[in-house]
Amino acid sequence: MKLANKVVIVTGASKGIGKEIALLLAKNKAKVIVNYANSEAEANETVSTIITNGGQAFAIKADVSKRKEVTFLFDKTIEIYGKIDVLVNNAGVMNSKKLKDNTEEDFDTHFNVNVKGLFNTFQEAESKLADNGSIINISSSTVKLMLPTYAIYSATKAAVEQMTRVFSKEIGRGISVNALAPGPTETTLFLKGKSPEFIKTLSAMNAFNRLAKPIDIARVVLFLASDESQWISGQVIGANGAMV
């Protein structure tokens, strides 16, 4: 599953799952664009790690919720590498609160990044992604779990999954479009504010009695970005250890 000569944009790639995806795809010879919105130091560190390991990478700042910045992200990538073969829509926000405690700002932030961000990258990919390319959208297994405090976040990811299905039939040109729905994963974003007891409860909900590690998710992205997965499109693939 080598990605030699493929150019990949990974949004939100400065840390967490996005960083692990960028590192693994670069290890498999992809030329990687490490996109970030705020974490410049971490993005540059990710790029530095890739280059130190013999890979090719470049960091580009762009807020996916802002169309002009997404246009810049795509155009700059083509300027640097000449094309775009794979788009990994990983950028996202998550703030778990009971529905009654969410503010209008909380709602807008979630939908602007998680859903409008996808809308913006899809519109750019329509004409700028290379033929026979791949789009991989990071969803979440919370869509199926009905976990309290995840109503807004889960709603955005449900939108991601439905947009994935529809766009897979619209874009054409041999481009596959899939969503990947991880279960609970050991990232700073996910672990923040959660008690050891809650983590233990979540771990016991899958067949392997542990949380996923970012590399578990990155390996599935590697497959979906490779030519071997070409016939898979319009699907939501769960990576949650039989949690749901």
Q: Walk along the chain (244 residues) in steps of 10 and give the mean pLDDT of each run.
A: 92 97 98 97 98 98 98 98 98 94 98 98 98 98 94 98 98 98 89 86 93 97 96 97 94
Per-residue pLDDT at 188: 82
Inter-CA distances, 211 with 95, 105, 110, 216, 242, Å:
19, 30, 24, 10, 12
Residue 151, amino acid: A
36 is catalytic: no
Among the listed residues 36, 81, 150, 153, the single catalytic one is 153
Residue with tokens 């807004």: 152
* Strand arrangement of the beta sheet that strand 134-138 belongs to: 56-61, 31-36, 7-10, 86-89, 134-138, 176-182, 236-239
Beta strands in 80-228 (DSSP E): 86-89, 134-138, 176-182
Domain residue spans of the chain:
7-238
Per-residue pLDDT at 191: 83
Q: 137: which 2 tokens?
A: 């959208």
Q: Nearest-CA neighbor of 37 among 83, 79, 73, 74?
A: 73
3-state class of 241 per DSSP?
coil
Q: Nearest-CA neighbor of 76 among 51, 59, 55, 56?
A: 59
Per-residue pLDDT at 103: 98
Largest CA distance in the chain: 49
Yes or no: is domain 7-238 CATH 2.40.10.10? Answer: no
Per-residue pLDDT at 100: 98
The span from the CA of 42 to the CA of 51, in Å, is 14
Q: 242: which 2 tokens?
A: 């039989």
Per-residue pLDDT at 9: 99
Residue 236, amino acid: V
